[in-house]
Amino acid sequence: MLEFVAQNEPACVPELRRHVRDFLHTLRVDPSISYDILLATDEAASNAVAHGRAPHGNGLVRLRCSADRGSVVVAISDEGSGFDPSAVEMHRLPNWTAQGGRGLFLVRELMDEVHIDASSEGTVIEMKRHVELPTTRGVPIPEA
């Protein structure tokens, strides 16, 4: 389990990515899947920076990352005033000329399960990606 808390500001996003990258590296997750999880984490964290600042002061962004034998789960939470997830187009891309609005679409495409819990006290985006983590096989002890 990895937990990390940072001030809600743009500089926290590469820092969160670095922690998740190290976590996934330790688990020996396949590099292409690891990149997908990093990108989804980045998009959720960028969303928190853009839309999830606390009413007074920036507030905090929290990262929680866990793994079992079959999946990696990353949760990003903020202290903003929340938003209506049903009003966000996660399944449709904006017109190509739009300079934003692709982040949550990407999260949905890159991860297997996405849950958004938004309230007046903040938003939590929890994302799960199925992975096959390498198993450590015991090395047989040579017979004497």
Partner 1 sequence: MELGLDVRKVGSHSVVDVKGEIDVYTAPKLREKLIELVSEGSYNVVVNLEGVDFLDSTGLGVLVGALKRVKAHDGNLTLVCTQDKILKIFKITGLTKVFPIHTSVEEAADGAA
Nearest to 80 by CA among 63, 64, 65, 61: 61
Does 32 bind partner 1 (CB under 8 A)? Our answer is yes
Nearer to partner 1, 57 or 94 (CB): 94
Nearer to partner 1, 41 or 77 (CB): 41
Q: Two tokens at 8? A: 């809600």
Does 46 bind partner 1 (CB under 8 A)? Our answer is yes
Q: Two tokens at 103? A: 């982040």
Per CB under 8 A, which region of 36-44, 52-60, 69-77, 118-126 contacts partner 1?
36-44
Positions 12 through 31 that interact with partner 1 (CB under 8 A): 13-14, 17
The answer to whether 74 and 37 have CB atoms below 8 angstroms apart is yes
Interhelix angle 12-27/31-51, rounded to 10 degrees, is 150
Does 142 bind partner 1 (CB under 8 A)? Our answer is no
Nearer to partner 1, 44 or 124 (CB): 44
Does 86 bind partner 1 (CB under 8 A)? Our answer is no
Binding residue for partner 1, selected from 24, 29, 43, 75, defined by CB under 8 A:
43
**Phi and psi for 105 in degrees, rounded to 5?**
-60, -45
Q: How far is CA 18 from CA 2, 21, 42, 65, 87, in A?
A: 12, 5, 10, 12, 31
Q: Two tokens at 67? A: 């793994």
Applying CB under 8 A, which residues contact partner 1?
A: 10-11, 13-14, 17, 32, 35, 38-39, 42-43, 46, 49-50, 93, 96-100, 102-103, 105-106, 109-110
